Structure 1
Amino acid sequence: MDRPDIPLNALRVFEVAMRQGSFTKAAIELRVTQAAVSHQIARLEDLLGATLFQRTSQGLVPTDEGRLLAPVLEHSFDAIGRVLDRLHGRRDVEVLNVGVNTTFALGWLTARLDGFCAAHPEIELRIATNNNRVEILREGLDMAIRFGTGGWTGHETVPLIEAPLSPLCAPGLAARLQDPADLGRAVLLRSYRNAEWPQWFAAAGIPAPPVTGPVFDSSVALAELAADGFGVALLPIAMFSRQIRQGRLTQPFATTVPAGHYFLAWPSERPQSRAMAAFTAWISGACRDAAAEAGQAGQAGMGDGISCARMSSGAASAQSRSASSAGQRD
C-alpha cells in the first residue's frame, strides 16, 4: 500500500486539537504556541485538500472529513504509544484512562481497586474523577463511569449499579424523625435537581413541604454536611454504606425513589482494547457480586441502614414509581 506523504507532526496536532476542541488547549498540551497549532492544521488541510474544522464563535466544529479522520489517528497514536512503552522497558503494560464520577469513586470503586490491580498487573489504571460532566474523547479518556439513565448518543454503555435515593442524616437528628412529616421541620439539603425531594415525599405518601435548604452539585458535599448535623440529604444510599456502617449517617426512613444507574461508557467508534475489555468484565462482575451480597444482607436484616429505617404507611407501593429523568448530579 502506498503511504501518503503527510507529516506525522501535523497529524498529531490535528488529533490533539480535535480531542481538546480548541487550538489554545491543544497548544498547551503540545507545549507550543497557538499560532504553531493553527499553522500545522492549515498545512494539513492544504495537503489533504479538505477542510477539517469550521471556525465559529462557539469554537472549533469538526467537519465530516475531520470526524472521519479523528478516530483513525487516535487509535494509531494509542497503538504507537503502547509499542513505545514496551521499547522503554514497560513490557506488556497497557495504560487505561478511566473517568469516574466522584461519588462512585469514593463510595464504591476505591475500596475494590486492589482486586482489579491484583488480577491485572499488566494494566496501569489511571483514574480521573469528575462531577459527572465528562467528554471522553476530548479529555483523553478511554472510558468513563457516569450516573444517569444511559442512552448517551455515540456511546456504548454497560449498567453497573442502580442508585435509589433516600434521606440520610446524622444519628442525633434521625432520633427526632419519627415520621416523614417530621422532615418538614428539618433543613432539607438539595441538589440542583429540584424534583428529587418532591418525588421522595410522593413516594412516602405525604405532601412535600417547601424545600429551601442550600443547593449543592456534589453528593459527597451533601453527605458531609448531613453527617455534621447540618440537615437531611437525599442521597444514593449504596454509595454511602461505609458512612452508615461507621454510624456517621443514618437512614431514618426506608422509602426510596429511583434516580438512575451508574454506567460504564465508552465511545461507540472506539473498539475495546484488551485493557478496556478486562476492566469491563471485572467491574461488571464486581457490581453483580456486590448486589448479591447486599440482597443477602437485606434478607437477613443487616442491610446498610435498611434494617433500622422506618417505612411510612402506603410507601411500599409508591416507591416503585420511576423518576422521570436523571441529570448530571455527582
Structure 2
Amino acid sequence: MDRPNIPLNALRAFEVAARQGSFTRAAIELRVTQAAVSHQLIALEELLGTSLFHRTPKGLILTDEGTVLHPILTQSFDRIGNVLDRFLDGRYQETLNVGVVTTFATGYLIERLPDFQQKHPGVNLRLFTNNNRVDIAKEGLDIAIRFGEGLWPGLQAIPLLTTPLTPLCSPDIGASLKTPQDLTKHILFRSYRSDEWELWFQNASTPCPKITGSVFDSSVAMADMVEAGLGIALLPYGMFKRRISEGRLVRPFPNEITTGKYWLTHLKSKPTTPATTLFKNWLLSELPEHVA
C-alpha cells in the first residue's frame, strides 16, 4: 500500500481497541466517541477485506488477521512515540552509549569528540572504555569500537582503521638499538595475542627469542611502562603519535606487522537509532583510510 494511502487514524483506532479489548475503553483513550472508533474499524476491515475482531459479549477477540497486525502496529507506534518524546525545546535529544577500547579512545577518538558534540548537540554521548573485551547487549551499549578481525557472532562490524604494530621504547633505550637483534637484550612486554613478537621478528628477518616479559591486556598500560624505560612493546604507533611527537616514545625500526583492525560494531538484532547513525556517519567521515 502506498504511504499516502495508509489509513493512520483507523490503524491507531485498531491498535488501541485491540490493546484495550473494548471499543468503549478505546474511545476513552483516544478521546473520541465509541461510534467514531467503530466507524474507523469498520472502514479498516472493509479496506483490508477481512475481519480483525470477533465481537463477543465479553469483549473483542482478535482474529488470526488481527493477531498478525496488532504487534506490528504496537511496535511502530511505540517507536514513533519514543522518538517524539526526545524532542525537547524543539531539538532532538538522545543518549548514545559507546564502548571503546582504551587505546582507540586515548589515541584517536577523545580529541575529536568536541567536533561531534558541536555538530550534534542533541546527542548525549556516554563513553565507556574497556580492554577490548566487551558484551554489547549485557552492558547496554549501542555501539562498541574494538580491535580484531571483525568476526563477532550477532554483530554488524564496520572497518575503521588499520594500525600496524611496531616496537616502541623510551629515547634512552632507543639510542642503544642498532639492529632488531638488539631487542633481545631488553625486556619485551607482551599482549594477550601471544604471536605478535614472533610475527614481527619474522618480518625483520631476525630469529625470535623466548619472550618472557609481562603480559598486558592494555596497550596504554604497556606504553606507560615503556615510557618509564622498563621495557619495549609492540604497539599500534598510529595511536601514540602524540607521545612520539613529544619525544616520550621512539620508534627504533621501520618494520611493522598488521594483526587486525579497529571496527565499529553493533547488534544486528537491535534497530539503529538516529544517534547511532549520526555517530557512525561522523566517525567514518573523520577517518583516513589508514593511520600511520
- Do Structure 1 and Structure 2 share a fold, with TM-score over 0.5? yes
Shift of 1:151: 2.0
Structure 1 residues 212 and 130, CA gap change in structure 2 (3 angstroms): same
Structure 1 segments, 4+ long, off by >2 Å, are 75-87
What letter corresponds to residue 116 of structure 1 in structure 2? Answer: F
Shift of 1:252: 0.3
CA RMSD of aligned residues (A): 2.4
- How many residue pairs match? The answer is 225
CA distance in 1, matches of 2:92, 2:276: 15
SS state at 1:3 partner: helix
SS state at 2:288 partner: helix
CA distance in 1, matches of 2:218, 2:78: 35
1:3 paired residue number: 19
2:148 paired residue number: 148
SS state at 1:247 partner: coil
SS state at 1:112 partner: helix
Please show how residues 170-185 of structure 1 align to structure 2 within 5 Å: 170-185=170-185
Structure 1 residues 127 and 79, CA gap change in structure 2 (3 angstroms): farther
What letter corresponds to residue 118 of structure 2 in structure 1? Answer: A
What letter corresponds to residue 250 of structure 1 in structure 2? Answer: V
1:199 paired residue number: 199
What letter corresponds to residue 203 of structure 1 in structure 2? Answer: N
Structure 1 residues 228 and 81, CA gap change in structure 2 (3 angstroms): farther
Shift of 1:167: 0.2
Shift of 1:244: 0.5
2:235 paired residue number: 235
Shift of 1:90: 8.3
1:47-106 Cα offsets, whole Å, 9 max, x none, are xxxxxxxxxxxxxxxxxxxxxx9xx98x9988766554546x684111111111111101
CA distance in 2, matches of 1:77, 1:164: 45
Bigger-Rg structure (1/2): 2
1:201-226 Cα offsets, whole Å, 9 max, x none, are 00100110111111111101100000
1:223-249 Cα offsets, whole Å, 9 max, x none, are 000011001011111111111011100
CA distance in 2, matches of 1:252, 1:152: 35
CA distance in 2, matches of 1:93, 1:148: 32
What letter corresponds to residue 108 of structure 2 in structure 1? Answer: W
SS state at 2:287 partner: helix
Q: Does 1:103 align with 2:103?
A: yes
SS state at 1:141 partner: coil
2:214 paired residue number: 214
Shift of 1:288: 2.2
CA distance in 1, matches of 2:104, 2:216: 17
2:254 paired residue number: 254
Structure 1 residues 102 and 81, CA gap change in structure 2 (3 angstroms): farther
What letter corresponds to residue 157 of structure 2 in structure 1? Answer: T
Shift of 1:149: 0.4
Percent identity of the aligned residues? 44
1:58 paired residue number: none
Please show how residues 301-320 of structure 1 align to structure 2 within 5 Å: none
What letter corresponds to residue 188 of structure 1 in structure 2? Answer: L
TM-score under structure 2 normalisation? 0.71
Q: Which ranges of structure 1 fall in alignment gaps of 5 or more residues?
A: 6-68, 295-303, 305-330
1:136 paired residue number: 136
1:187 paired residue number: 187
What letter corresponds to residue 143 of structure 1 in structure 2? Answer: I
Please show how residues 1-330 of structure 1 align to structure 2 within 5 Å: 1=15, 2-3=18-19, 83-86=84-87, 91-288=91-288, 291=290
Structure 1 residues 176 and 80, CA gap change in structure 2 (3 angstroms): farther
CA distance in 1, matches of 2:273, 2:187: 48
Structure 1 residues 124 and 78, CA gap change in structure 2 (3 angstroms): farther
SS state at 1:138 partner: helix
Structure 1 residues 204 and 77, CA gap change in structure 2 (3 angstroms): farther
What letter corresponds to residue 167 of structure 2 in structure 1? Answer: P
TM-score under structure 1 normalisation? 0.63
